Structure 1
Amino acid sequence: MKSILLATAASVAFAGAAAAEVTFSGEASAAYNNNTGLDVQAELKAAMSAALDNGYTASAGATFDVDAGTFKRANVSISSDVASLTFGTALNGAAYTVVSDTYGVGLGEEKTNGLLASYKIGETTVYASLPVAQGAKADLNTLELGAKTTVSGWTVSAAAAKVAGKNEFAAKFSGAVAGATISGGFGTVDKGGKANQWDIKAEYPVGPVTVSAAYDEASVYVLGAKYSANGVTVAAEYTKGGAWKADASYAYGSGVNVFAGLAEKGNDIYVGATYDLGAGATLTGSYVKDGGAADADNKIGAKDYARGATVKVSFKF
């Protein structure tokens, strides 16, 4: 994302700093779909930072949704090479930061209005977050904790949270064994009627092809294969019970990329293309035949295209 850098010595300065750096960035898009009509979206981001005399950096940022006329998020933080403390809205909590949404532990992505702290000790970073509503007092019973480390080439992370009076815990790991990448984890949050969840996945490259297999606590297995070479990528996946999907893409060159695929056992078909217009602008066209059960979120295939025909122009700066 290209940023416009402004330096000011007085009006936008933090205490203890000679000056602050302010950057403005944003994105906008206009799309027309033959089913849903016109959709125009835009957001503007402002960020400022300043190096303090004590070796810390103070920073603040805000994202403004131009279409809705509201602020999506705003935050203020202070940080060093080993520690950080952020106050704001729409933060990623400690649990999401280290284990993402794999097991649904904690409040989730950009759901924490309050604070997030981190501290690094060697290869380990620990996190703590606490949701606090505007004008309200903090409740330590809603504290989320997380940690992520690297041990002998393996990445290991764990998180604990208490949501709606229920204790939640999750851990994840990934690393390499005999040329294969092994990843997995487990969680203790009630999801899909089961309190205890676990899964494991192995990926192994054979030339330009990577084969994979995954298995979980529900005895569901997923087999996959992906080919990638010379600008061509083809991927296919089969899930126990007969579900399958296939996706393909080709980097044509000169800023043109084309995509095609099948989902929902071949009932959903999509094709699309993007053209890089330069200077952060992209032209996208797509067509989707949603032949199976209607997708509730209207996002079909690997590129999350909308059903029907869509033309979209997007711009980032």
Structure 2
Amino acid sequence: MEQQNSGHLRRSMTTGQMEMIAIGGTIGSGLFMGATSTIKWAGSSVLLAYALVGLVLYAMMRALGEMIYLNPGTGSFADYGTKYINPLSGYLVKWSNVFQFIIVGISDVIAMSQYLNYWWPNLPDWISGIILIVILTLANLVSAKAYGSLEFWFAMIKVVTIILMIVVGLMVIVFGLGNNWHPVGISNLWSHGGFFPNGWKGFFFSLAVIAGSYQGIELLGIAAGETASPQKAIVKSVKSVIWRILIFYIGAIFVIVSIYPWNQLSAVGSPFVETFEKVGITGAAGLINFVVLTAAMSGANSGIYSASRMLFKLSVDHEVSPFFS
């Protein structure tokens, strides 16, 4: 962490890195690993559920973006709690952010160890966990720019994979690629119990899981304090959030529930793997395993970044030991 002066950090991240951090925050590993569970609860109506949660989060990000534009500091949204509500609110926001990412970080390290077992089944989990923690910690200790560079490529891998999956899926739906050139169509959206097969109960239950899959979207409120020309980066990032949600989440889920009946997905395994293998892309399982590994690394990487900055803010505000600044 590069401290410029008391209470401020060096603005070493670029606008492009901040945009990719925003994308990486929006596209979590929940899309790759959690899509099947949300579809199980909501059926085809999961499309509406992702859109609804996306709309709420877009409204939140617009409001947050307006405030960050005026005061782009490290830990911005915690500062807003202190300034506009009361100091206790800001204090709780900072600590909740730290504890949240400690828990998420631990779960991501466990997940990464499991993904590495795909290639090295005899590698003890604790060894792979330590190696991954050391790599991510060193990246964060070097500089914010190093973190931004790592997150840039993590996000790029996820974006390319999802776009490729959507393109391949649309070719299966429209042209029948991998299905003997018999178009699959979109009848699966309503042919297995209707658009709301589990009623409104299943629809509303899926909202909680979907909201969790968007976790990390708020990283703009932390990264703004270390980005050059933060106002320009914030405007571009916030305005494009809704399009990222539409393309990456709703686009990918639309392809999945169109190609596969929602009530048969549990037998399919990973719909991403199955879709690539359907069109003859060999090694799809290894490809998707690599992607979810980078997605988990991205989550842990962002967790280290976010929690460390909140501890920095707590220290600067004299709420924990000066050691943390």
Taking structure 1 as the reference length, what is the TM-score of the superposition?
0.23
Structure with higher strand content? 1
Structure with higher helix content? 2
Greater length-normalized contact order (CA 8 Å, ≥ 6 residues apart): 2
Taking structure 2 as the reference length, what is the TM-score of the superposition?
0.23
